[in-house]
Amino acid sequence: MNKCVLVGNLTRDPEHTTTANGISVCRFSIAVNRNYTSSSGEREADFINIVAWRGLADNCGKYLVKGNKVAVSGSIQTRNYEDKDGNKRYATEVVADDVEFLTPKGEGASAGPRTPSASGSKPVMELEPVDDSELPF
């Protein structure tokens, strides 16, 4: 099974384009913190490339900006290609099945309307805040 779930912040604005066949594609990178700190006490991060297709790509390109926190679920894909100088290059990226927008509405640099889920496949239920004193535990 090839499935991964990542939570991180966009390192740059997404690149939203269309293929020659008219299919939307959006590429972006997220910084994901590691669970441990280095010997100097600093928390390190990994920078993961993400690619989204079709409607999900349209929503990511429209609503995401650098710094937004997202949760991405998808599969890991590797590929190789030759660059313009003829050197063989390898790329590893996550092909997104779902992208959840975690930056609260009104925060961050996004000026447009925002939706909690970019997948469009699941209804989103709005939850009201609950006073902790009302909880039975």
Q: What is the pLDDT of residues 79-114, one digit of tens each?
A: 999 999 999 999 999 999 999 999 987 776 544 544
Q: Give pLDDT, residue 106.
A: 72
The answer to whether residue 134 is domain-embedded is no
Domain CATH code at residue 68? 2.40.50.140
The answer to whether residue 109 is domain-embedded is yes
Check whether 129 has a pLDDT greater than 70: no
The answer to whether residue 131 is domain-embedded is no
Most confident of 60-69, 104-113, 122-131: 60-69
CB count, 10 Å around CB of 8?
A: 21
Indicate the number of domains in the chain. Answer: 1
CB count, 10 Å around CB of 98?
A: 17
What value does the mean pLDDT take over residues 7-20?
97
The answer to whether residue 33 is domain-embedded is yes
What value does the mean pLDDT take over residues 59-79?
97
The answer to whether residue 126 is domain-embedded is no
The answer to whether residue 125 is domain-embedded is no
Residue 30: closest CA among 82, 101, 84, 85: 101
Give the domain extent around 54.
Answer: 4-120
Retrieve residue 63's tokens.
């609503």
Instruction: Give the Cα separation of 116 and 129 in Å (integer).
Output: 16
The answer to whether residue 127 is domain-embedded is no
The answer to whether residue 103 is domain-embedded is yes
pLDDT digits (tens, 9 = 90+) for 41-57: 899 999 999 999 999 99
pLDDT above 90 covers a percentage of the chain that reads: 70
